[in-house]
């Protein structure tokens, strides 16, 4: 008996936090669960109910989930993921060299300040106003088509410039470019120039320096750029609405349509899918970067 | 099956707050803090679709002595029903204005009061034609819940040159120019809202004998599937350029001539005429009629309990009168009951003969559209609305 008692692990007793950090963490977790996690769970729960005459029927059912297949809404889910992944990749591919130039290549402080200011301008303009302008530029009677037809490059206007996958991707790219650039720019700015010089001094080529010095150190910013771009893209609805013109139906619009008809269970099911995809995507990111990069370093690099 | 009881709780959140407020007011008055006898202008609050709102709200005040504060909402049935059912908007508003059909649900459940057709303040009710006051805008199950205040028959707009139509706009144009005409392929815009697009497409297929459909506004699951199958086929054939979502988009599509034919509201053409003049498209007399709709004004039950009944009936009567009719026709091309009073008002108020003639023309135009035997009534709260929305998603996803 005594041996058994000695071999069993000591029971951990719950105690009040002894430090300010402990208290803060506890309160933060409590608030986070109450304000974020609990509402999400409630939303998911609603997907297992149904509607009758604009009122919720609180009898558990899987009808909403099966209807997602029948109505083709699952196609919309896949299409949304496709758009979010492809536009995020494109953003990062363009944002990284741009941020590298801005952080390390641009020698003029005035130019750098000017570019950063320009990148922040979209945040001050309502997204709808910013996006709708493109309709008069990309339309069949728009500026681009008029120029192309007028210059004789094409015979008739290009219809695919607007209300197409292209126009939606284009609109998304413009909207989320700053959110992809800023995290990468910030981490690149924090890289000590002496490290790069040391790499060259040791005989590394530009490509080797980029691959073995800059990229690993910039990884927190790249991951941040991916997160800040992919997450809002999963819920984007202004670009598909205004530039897709109903030809490119994504999750945000599908949720909106369900809400317009007061179909809370469908809206809840689709919102649950969005959350699940985001959690899955973050998990994939964490697993694929395991051993090469710590997620916590996203924040360490800021405070040095 | 258990449904949420949004109305019949012993005490809901609002009624609790209200009774708490009454208690405080009673306590205050007993202490002499609340003064009485201060003469105040009668103020009513209306909640409803913006189309029913007067551009100049002071006209109502001048005519009735009642100030009507208007809280606008859009045409989304979901938003309106949420505010009526869950947010208990009757606690704060005296008149609710929306597409006819909400009374089918809100009437029997006790949210709307029945209209007292004999109320002395409602003296224009008697002369109002049955076409309006016995319509789906007002009546459900033999009981009158709403006063019809305006309406129209929605169809589509077209550029005459694109389809070789007579530019005088008097010809009846078939809906096939939207769905099956090679001349307009890829230059057609539909409304994104299923209660408009899906219903009109169903009516087209019904009138042309392609599908057996009883009510295009309330499709059974099988009918909705068949109509959407057709819609998907036409979408894949490249018929539709875009689906619009708002009045502003309709106007922009017309002004940029991005499309040749579009389902839209008549005021969008009216708006485009301001800049395009003779180049503006024509709002069609459709062979298949189109979708008849009307806005009704309804009284939340609580408004009568607040003792606002007489003032409310004054305003409802105003909606049936000439001034409201004339301004709605002039500003939006909408008609409604007692259009003759609108013409009479315009003549007495010194409107130009051109404007008076325009009112007469609007009256004639809407009478012609409304009397088309192929036209059908809208049903925003159709029993099969859920099925129709789900099927419509299949079209959007395709």
pLDDT in tens, A128-174: 888 989 998 999 999 999 999 999 999 999 999 999 999 999 999 99
- Whether ipTM > 0.85 holds is no
**Nearest Cα to Cα of residue A267 among A32, A34, A76, A53:** A76
pLDDT at B98 exceeding the cut of 70: yes
A257 and B394: CB-CB below 8 Å?
no
**In the block, residue with structure tokens 């909400």:** B102
Interfacial A residues in 15-54 facing B (CB < 8 Å): 51-54
Q: Are B71 and B47 in contact (CB under 8 A)?
A: yes
- In this structure, chain B runs to a length of 398
DSSP 3-state assignment of B184?
coil
Whole-number Å distance between alpha carbons of B128 and A177: 60
pLDDT of residue B9: 37
| Cβ proximity of B188 and B239 under 8 Å | yes
Are the beta carbons of B64 and B315 closer than 8 angstroms? yes
Q: What parts of chain A have a pLDDT lower than 70?
A: 1-12, 292-304
Taking the Cβ of residue A155 and every Cβ of chain B, the question of whether any pair is shorter than 8 Å is answered with: no
What would the pLDDT profile of B225-240 be if each residue is shown by its tens digit? 999 999 999 999 999 9
| Distance between A293 CA and the closest CA of chain B, angstroms | 39
Helix/strand/coil (H/E/C) assignment for every residue in B371-389: CCCCCEECCCCCCCHHHHH
Please determine, for residue B125, whether its predicted confidence score (pLDDT) is greater than 90.
yes
Q: What is the CA A205 to chain-centroid distance, rounded?
A: 33
Q: Name which of B246, B202, B247, B253 is nearest B226 in CA terms.
A: B202
Strand, helix or coil for residue B182: coil
Q: Does B385 touch chain A (CB under 8 A)?
A: yes
- A34, burial (CB in 10 Å: exposed 0-12, middle 13-18, buried 19+): exposed
Cα radius of gyration (chain B): 23
pLDDT at B155: 96
Q: Rounded to two decimals, what is the model's pTM?
A: 0.81
Taking CA atoms, A220 is separated from A108, A178, A225, B49, B351, in Å, by 26, 16, 9, 50, 70
Closest CA to B198 of B213, B222, B185, B216: B216
Instruction: Give the orientation angle of helix A215-234 with respect to helix A264-288, to 10 degrees.
Output: 170
* Interface membership of A163 toward B (CB under 8 Å): yes
Reading the block at residue B142, the tokens are 């033999």
Q: Which residue of A has its CA nearest to B83?
A: A262
- Is A71's CB within 8 Å of B192's CB? no
pLDDT at B138 over 90: yes
Residue A299's pLDDT is 57
pLDDT band of B74, cuts 50, 70, 90: confident
Per-residue tokens: A177: 């470019």
Sequence-distant (6+) residues with CB within 8 A of B100 are: B135, B136, B137, B138, B146, B148, B293, B294, B295, B296, B377, B378, B380
């Amino acid at each position: 008996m005594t041996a058994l008692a000695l071999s069993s692990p000591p029971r951990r007793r719950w105690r009040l936090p002894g430090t300010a950090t402990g208290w803060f963490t506890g309160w933060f977790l409590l608030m986070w669960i109450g304000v974020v996690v609990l509402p999400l769970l409630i939303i998911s729960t609603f997907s297992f109910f149904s509607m009758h005459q604009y009122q919720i029927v609180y009898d558990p059912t899987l009808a909403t989930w099966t209807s997602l297949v029948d109505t083709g809404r699952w196609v919309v889910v896949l299409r949304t993921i496709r758009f979010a992944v492809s536009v995020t990749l494109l953003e990062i591919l363009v944002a990284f060299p741009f941020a590298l130039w801005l952080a390390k290549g641009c020698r003029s402080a005035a130019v750098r300040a000017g570019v950063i200011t320009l990148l922040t301008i979209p945040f001050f303009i309502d997204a709808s106003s910013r996006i709708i302008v493109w309709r008069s530029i990309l339309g069949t009677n728009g500026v681009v088509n008029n120029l192309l037809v007028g210059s004789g490059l094409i015979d008739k206007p290009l219809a695919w410039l607007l209300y197409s996958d292209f126009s939606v991707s284009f609109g998304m790219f413009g909207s989320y470019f700053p959110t992809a650039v800023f995290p990468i720019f910030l981490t690149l700015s924090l890289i000590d120039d002496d490290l790069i010089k040391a790499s060259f001094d040791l005989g590394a080529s530009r490509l080797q320096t980029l691959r073995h010095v800059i990229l690993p150190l910039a990884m927190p910013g790249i991951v941040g750029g991916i997160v800040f771009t992919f997450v809002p893209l999963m819920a984007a609805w202004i670009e598909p609405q205004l530039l897709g013109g109903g030809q490119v139906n994504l999750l945000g619009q599908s949720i909106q349509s369900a809400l317009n008809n007061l179909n809370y269970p469908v809206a809840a099911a689709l919102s649950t899918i969005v959350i699940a995809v985001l959690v899955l995507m973050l998990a994939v990111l964490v697993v694929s970067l395991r051993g090469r990069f710590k997620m916590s370093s996203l924040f360490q690099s800021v405070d040095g | 099956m258990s449904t949420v009881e949004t109305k019949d709780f012993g005490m809901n959140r609002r009624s609790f707050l209200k009774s708490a407020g009454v208690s405080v007011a009673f306590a205050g008055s007993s202490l002499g803090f609340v003064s009485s006898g201060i003469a105040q202008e009668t103020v009513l609050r209306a909640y409803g679709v913006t189309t029913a709102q007067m551009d100049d709200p002071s006209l109502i005040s001048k005519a009735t002595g009642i100030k009507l504060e208007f809280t606008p909402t859009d045409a989304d049935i979901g938003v309106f029903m949420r505010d009526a059912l869950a947010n208990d908007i009757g606690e704060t508003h005296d008149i609710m204005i929306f597409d006819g059909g909400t009374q089918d649900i809100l009437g029997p459940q006790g949210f709307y009061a029945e209209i007292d057709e004999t109320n002395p303040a409602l003296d224009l009710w008697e002369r109002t034609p049955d076409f309006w006051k016995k319509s789906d805008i007002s009546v459900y199950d033999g009981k009158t819940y709403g006063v019809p205040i305006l309406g129209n028959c929605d169809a589509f707009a077209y550029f005459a040159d694109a389809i070789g139509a007579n530019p005088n706009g008097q010809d009846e144009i078939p809906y096939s120019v939207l769905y099956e005409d090679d001349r307009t392929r890829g230059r057609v815009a539909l409304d994104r809202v299923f209660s408009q697009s899906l219903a009109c497409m169903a009516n087209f297929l019904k009138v042309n004998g392609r599908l057996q459909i009883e009510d295009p506004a309330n499709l059974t699951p099988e009918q909705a599937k068949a109509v959407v199958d057709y819609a998907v086929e036409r979408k894949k054939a490249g018929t539709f350029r875009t689906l619009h979502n708002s009045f502003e988009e309709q106007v922009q599509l017309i002004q940029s001539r991005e499309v040749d034919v579009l389902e839209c509201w008549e005021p969008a053409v009216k708006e485009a005429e301001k800049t395009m003049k003779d180049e503006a498209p024509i709002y069609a007399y459709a062979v298949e009629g189109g979708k008849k709709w009307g806005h009704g004004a309804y009284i939340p039950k609580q408004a009568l309990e607040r003792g606002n009944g007489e003032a409310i009936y004054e305003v409802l009567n105003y909606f049936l009168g000439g001034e409201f009719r004339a301004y709605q026709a002039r500003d939006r091309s909408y008609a409604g009951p007692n259009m003759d009073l609108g013409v009479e008002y315009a003549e007495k108020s010194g409107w130009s003969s051109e404007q008076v003639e325009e009112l007469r023309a609007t009256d004639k135009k809407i009478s012609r559209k409304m009397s088309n035997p192929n036209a059908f009534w809208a049903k925003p709260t159709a029993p099969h609305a859920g099925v129709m929305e789900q099927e419509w998603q299949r079209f959007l996803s395709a």
